[in-house]
Amino acid sequence: MKLDVLSTTGKSTGRSVDLPANIFEVEGNDHLLYLAVKQYLANQRQATHKSKEKGEVKASTRKIKKQKGTGTARAGSLKSPLFRGGGRVFGPRADRNYGIKLNKKVKSLARATALSQKASEGNIKLVEDFTFDAPKTKEFINVMNNLEAGKKSLLVVGEGDKNVMLSGRNVPKAKVMRAGDVSTYDVLNANTVIFCESAIDKLKESFA
């Protein structure tokens, strides 16, 4: 699959690059995408929620009522989950890990499937390598507008030019990532995926 190389003005440079078939022409399935996205979102959960159990509640330890003769169940502490303000039974704990394990081959195939879908839809573009003298959000927006990036865009760079990455940091619904860090979720979450020329070689290395 060949793709024309565009300049930062959005015009063709007259050059084209062959995209690797094992990345951009893969016939995967939706279940692979589901698993990869599920793992990504699960790994983002911080699990900082916590509720107090019986031993962590601060309350009086006096005996509430006599042991026998009340006609009701025994009660020895206000910390009991049966009383209002007592501890919670099997509540959420801060040390829980929501992460999901996924085989490397499955993750790699899912990422290739996502890129292949974008390529078949015509939502992948190739731009020549560029940089800025200093971080400039306005210049970054102009480049994205020239490339007709759309509402949600993902710019994939090779070495990760610092000024380019800082320039796109404050742009809403625009993301700049290194080729080796791009996940299936990042590809699917963008309307248009734009690759710098050097990013293609780095992408091949990440799939090797």
Cβ atoms of 126 and 195 closer than 8 Å: yes
Fold of 2-44+99-207: Ribosomal Protein L4; Chain: A; (3.40.1370)
Per domain, the residue ranges of the chain are 2-44+99-207, 46-97
pTM of the model: 0.80
Digitized pLDDT (tens) for each residue of the chain, 208 residues in all: 888 889 999 898 888 888 888 899 988 789 999 999 999 999 998 888 899 999 899 988 888 889 999 999 988 889 999 889 899 999 888 888 888 899 999 999 999 999 999 999 989 999 999 989 899 999 999 999 999 888 899 999 988 778 999 998 889 889 999 998 999 999 999 999 999 998 998 898 888 7
Cα 76 to Cα 30, 51, 69, 103, 164: the distances in Å are 55, 22, 15, 50, 65
